[in-house]
Structure 1
Amino acid sequence: MTILVTAAGHLGRLAVKSLIARGVAPADIRIGARTLSKVDDLVALGVNAVELDYDRPETVTAAVAGADKVLLVSASEPGKRVPQHQAVIDAAKAAGVSQLVYTSAPHADSSTLILAPEHKATEELIVASGVPATVLRNNWYHENYTGQVAGAAESGVLIGSAGTGRVASASRADYAEGAAAVLTTEGHIGQTYELAGDTAWDYAGLAAAISEITGRPVEYQNLDTAAHVAALTGFGLDEGTAGFVSALDANIAEGALAEASNVLSGLIGRPTTPLVDGLRADLA
């Protein structure tokens, strides 16, 4: 059996390591990458590296050919995901893969989350293709907030516009283990799993986690959307990025990421990683 992981970013790399930890022989794993030299460490473990660029369908077709199972790690650039994912789905159908596992977004078919429409469209393409599939609707990653730790610790203030909205995040390693579990055990074809951390936290809790990690007092300052965008542009973000970040906070305020569950912990056989531990590990 050959398992292809389509991308060599953080989640894909962790998924490869989780597959190996679950007993999959490295020689039975392919890792797709645009730049093969970036996965030399995985090749050293015995994993097969193949060129795979979502924007070059011919590389996708070649990478998928002969694979039995495919973990389609969602592409990272908003606005381009649907055609990029379509290339993988088409290649999986042509190759006759036995299972396509896709990393989607929470409640992609009904959520107001700004990222949801592309994931919803991808899920629909998978259904239309007829490829046997499992959809993993991953909630937020703890690591999405690592970049805010140093600045918040230095200033003593964590800014945002999420109000008291909660986030049921887990670590990338948790989600990677969940994907590996679905790829290596039976009974998951046709299933859609809403995956999240065991508990949800708000930005005041994030500020407390930063305080615990850094040893410096940090408080959360909630701003309205306009003030949040102004602050972010003042820090050097362009208007588009600042607007995107504030829109995500608005989604959080609406509750789009608040749903904690034990589905992920059930798949991985342990509690999900607490926020403070996930941030600390990523900083290390």
Structure 2
Amino acid sequence: MKIAVTSASGQLGTAIVEHLITEVGKNNVIGIARTPEKANHLGVEIRKGDYSSREQFNEALQDIDTLLLVSGMDKPEKRIQQHRNVIAAAKQNGVKKIVYTSIVGSEEGNAFSPIVKSNRQTEKDIEESGLQFSIGRNGVYIEPDLEYIDQYVKEGEIRNCAADGKCAYTSRNELSFAYSQMLTDEKHNGQIYNLVGEAITQTELAEFINQVYHTNLSYHPVSVAAYEEERKIALGDFLGTVIAGIYEGIKIGVNNVPSDFEAASGRIHKAIPQIISEYKSVN
């Protein structure tokens, strides 16, 4: 069985390829990347594939049985057609199954909603493709918070607009393990899973980071408007609005969802303190 992974040069795609190699062997894993040389380190066959090019995916998906489609990073209005290019090429090439990395969230109510809405449309397109499918809805990654620890320590706090809302965090490593199972076991066909861990507040996140890193962080809530303005200055209008929208979603509860991780992966999701400890040990 040949399994292809799109966006193989990205952090999630790379992690999924590495897990798949242990499951099915490197000769059965194909990486697809817009810039193939960025994925050469993976040690598997790499094919060129840009979501905007149906023709490239017609080539890239030849002799592929199962496809892992990592959600694109373009603006929401462009993603739907880009994903449709891949789905159409998969059908043309006789791919039997698509596994899609979607996202937890609400289609309305915050600035992140347009991205969630575009993901839901791709879910629908895959369900209606006639192919076997399995869909994971990813929780918020914990890694960006951990990559930001030096800045948190400098400021002495975690500051955002999530207030007391709970967020069911996950990690790229946990997700990649779940996706490797969803790709290789037919029992997951037709299923949609929330791939998340236990939901925690920002105050609890600060406490867990303090436990592992021996820091003294506190949590400081600010208004949605203030946080959005701050993020726009730091990251630009598009990304700043998106990041503020994620935390506004946490505030109103859209990231406090039940976990299907055990059903998808065969084991319980690692606890957040364990994930933080494991991240610290390799970074």
TM-score scaled by length of structure 1: 0.90
User: Partner residue of 2:6?
Assistant: 6
Q: Where does residue 219 of structure 1 map in the other structure?
A: 218
For 1:229 and 1:110, the matched residues in 2 are separated by: 17
Q: Contact 1:161–1:228 (CA<8 Å) still a contact in 2?
A: yes
Identity value in percent: 29
Say whether the 8 Å CA contact 2:182–2:265 is kept in structure 1: no
Counterpart in 2 of 1:36? 36
Match of 1:265 in 2: 262
Question: How far apart are 1:194 and its partner, in Å?
Answer: 2.1
Partner residue of 2:53? 56
- Classify 1:77/1:145 alpha carbon distance in 2 versus 1 (closer, same or farther; 3 Å): farther
Q: CA deviation at 1:280?
A: 4.7
Alpha-carbon distance between aligned partners in 1 of 2:75 and 2:207, rounded to the nearest angstrom: 31
CA distance in 1, matches of 2:170, 2:4: 24
Whether the 8 Å CA contact 1:36–1:49 is kept in 2: the answer is yes
Shift of 1:195: 1.9
Would the alpha carbon gap of residues 167 and 13 (structure 1) be closer, same or farther in structure 2, given more than 3 Å must change? Answer: same
| 3-state SS in 2 of match to 1:87 | helix
Would the aligned equivalents of 2:65 and 2:97 in 1 still touch at CA under 8 Å?
Answer: yes
Amino acid paired to 2:61 = V
1:210-233 superposed Cα distances (whole Å, 9 cap, x missing partner): 323432211111001122123334
> Following superposition of structure 1 onto structure 2, how do residues 224-235 of structure 1 map, counting pairs within 5 Å?
224-233=223-232
Q: What are the ranges of 5 or more consecutive residues in structure 2 without an aligned counterpart?
A: none
Q: What is the TM-score with the length of structure 2 in the denominator?
A: 0.90
State the SS of the aligned residue for 1:187.
helix
Aligned residue for 2:243, secondary structure, equals helix
How far is the alpha carbon of 1:185 from its aligned partner?
1.4
Q: Contact between 1:161 and 1:225, CA under 8 Å: does it hold in 2? A: yes
Query: Deviations for 1:144-172, whole angstroms, at most 9, x for unmatched residues?
Result: 32333111111101110011111111111
Go from structure 1 to structure 2 and tell me whether the alpha carbon gap of 1:206 and 1:270 turns closer, same or farther (over 3 Å shift): same
Which AA in structure 2 matches 1:17? E
CA contact (8 A) 1:108 1:120 kept: no
Aligned residues, how many? 277
How far does residue 269 in structure 1 lie from its aligned partner after superposition?
Answer: 3.2
Distance 1:63 1:16 in 2: 16
SS at the partner of 1:220? strand
Cα 1:232–1:137 change in 2 (3 A) is closer
Equivalent residue runs for 1:91-170 within 5 Å: 91-106=89-104, 114=113, 115-170=115-170
Q: Is the 8 A contact 2:210 2:216 kept in 1?
A: yes
1:202 corresponds to which residue? 201
Note if contact 1:141-1:170 (Cα within 8 Å) is conserved in structure 2.
Answer: yes
Q: Distance in 2 between matches of 1:71 and 1:176?
A: 11
5+ residue gaps, structure 1, are: none
Q: 2:73 maps to what in 1? A: 76
Q: Return closer, same or farther for 1:20/1:240 CA change in 2, 3 Å cut-off.
A: closer
User: Residue 107 and residue 132 in structure 1: after superposition, are their counterparts in 2 closer, same or farther (change >3 A)?
Assistant: farther
Kindly state the Cα deviation for residue 71 of structure 1 after the two structures are TM-superposed: 0.5
Which whole-Å CA distance do the structure 2 matches of 1:38 and 1:26 have between them?
A: 17
Give the corresponding residue for 2:246.
Answer: 248
User: What is the DSSP-based 3-state SS (H/G/I as helix, E as strand, rest coil) of the residue aligned with 1:252?
Assistant: helix
Alignment partners' CA distance in 1, 2:201 and 2:144 = 14
CA contact (8 A) 2:52 2:82 kept: yes
Q: Distance in 2 between matches of 1:110 and 1:240?
A: 17
CA contact (8 A) 2:194 2:258 kept: no
Q: Supply the distance in 1 between the matched residues of 2:275 and 2:74 (Cα, whole angstroms).
A: 24
1:156 maps to a residue whose letter is G
Secondary structure of the corresponding residue to residue 235 of structure 2: coil
Cα distance, 1:108 vs structure 2: 6.6
